[in-house]
Amino acid sequence: MNLSIEGVSHVYGRTTALDDITLTVESGRVLCLIGPSGCGKSTLLRLIGGLERPSAGSVLQEGAPPPGCLNPLTYVFQDFALLPWRTVAGNVALALEHHRLGRAERAEIIADVLARTKLADFRDAFPRQLSGGMKQRVAIARALAVRPAVMLMDEPLSALDGQTRELLMDDLVSLWERERFTAVYVTHNLAEAVRLGHTIVVLSRRPGRVHATLTIDRPLADRQPGDADLEQHVAHLWDLMRAEAEAADREVLDA
Ligand X SMILES: Nc1ncnc2c1ncn2[C@@H]1O[C@H](COP(=O)(O)OP(=O)(O)OP(=O)(O)O)[C@@H](O)[C@H]1O
31 to 110, 121, 122: CA distances (angstroms): 27, 32, 31
**CA separation for the pair 253, 181 (Å, rounded):** 39
If binding is defined by CB under 6 A, does position 43 make contact with ligand X? yes
- Print the binding letters for residues 123-162 with ligand X: x by CB under 6 A, - otherwise: ----------------------------------------
Q: What are residue 42's phi and psi, to 5 degrees?
A: -65, -35
Label residues 126-147 b or e (16+ Cβ within 10 Å = b).
Answer: bbeebebbbbbbbbbbbbbbbb
| Sign of CA pseudo-dihedral 157, 158, 163, 169 | positive
Among 4, 24, 42, 158, binds ligand X (CB under 6 A): 42
Minimum CB separation of residue 57 from ligand X in Å reads 16
- Is 51 a residue that touches ligand X (CB under 6 A)? no
Cβ proximity to ligand X, 44 vs 114, nearer residue:
44
Q: Which is nearer to ligand X, 17 or 240 (CB)?
A: 17
**Of 35-43, 81-89, 129-137, 163-171, which part binds ligand X (CB under 6 A)?**
35-43
209 interacts with ligand X by CB under 6 A: no
Closest CA to 40 of 81, 6, 3, 12: 12
Q: Give the integer Cα–Cα distance in Å for 204 and 191.
A: 19
Q: What's the DSSP call for residue 100?
A: -
Among 116, 147, 205, 206, binds ligand X (CB under 6 A): 206
Among 8, 30, 40, 172, binds ligand X (CB under 6 A): 40
The answer to the question of residue 55 lying near ligand X (CB under 6 A) is no
Binding site for ligand X (CB under 6 A): 12, 15, 17, 35, 37-43, 206
